[in-house]
Amino acid sequence: MLHMLYGKLKQYYKKKHLNMLIKRGLDMGKNIQIEGNIHIDPSHCFLIRIEDNCFFGPDVHIFAHEAGPFRYLGITKLAKVTIKENSGLGLAAVVMPGVTIGPNSIVGAYSVVTRDVPPNSIAVGNPVKIVASMDDYLERHAKDEKKYRTFHESQYNIRWISSKGRKEMLDYLSCHPMAYIKGENPDVSIFNSKVLRKNGRI
């Protein structure tokens, strides 16, 4: 009960904070998915644009200003940030001023984005490097999904998984390098991907 109340309070304050940023000029599109906290430059949020259908892991940071030179030169760098549609940032990724990400691109967990991430790309590292195209990334997972077991979220989600389900998953992953967990089918019609078409997803 307390856990549910805490979760609702967090959602309430996150929504309130985002609404405050939008009033200050943050340009935020529709269908934005945010897991946990997100840190968007409060003093220069009006320089940040987040387009439709983007997703963010916990503790993502997005900056439109860099105060490093202020102590020495008395100046602070300002630059716009654009995160284009259908793009996502993993856990604790950091976006620095002056970059454009996407569309249809993913930035890996703990990555630091100091340069543009091209459309349909997978970028990781500090600073980020392009490691794959979106189609290559999806192709790899589509092939692996056919090779390994897929558990369904309705039974194996952490919120309601049984002790039997945990043992089953542990036993499988003790003998295999990976598995997948499947939730409800997302709306993938927003992607123009030959891999999704090839695998009957769109």
User: Which residues are known catalytic residues?
Assistant: 65
Name the helix (H) or strand (E) containing 147.
helix 134-147
Q: Which residue's entry shows tokens 């049984």?
A: 162
Q: Give, as one character, the DSSP assignment of residue 117.
A: B
Maximum pairwise Cα distance, the chain? 62
CA–CA–CA angle 131, 119, 87 (5° rounding): 90
Q: In this structure, what token pair is assigned to residue 67?
A: 């105060």
Q: With the C-alpha atoms ordered 33, 91, 179, 188, is the resulting torsion angle positive or negative? A: positive
Distance CA 202, CA 192 (A): 9
The SS3 call for residue 131 is strand
User: How far is 115 from 95, CA to CA, in rounded Å?
Assistant: 9
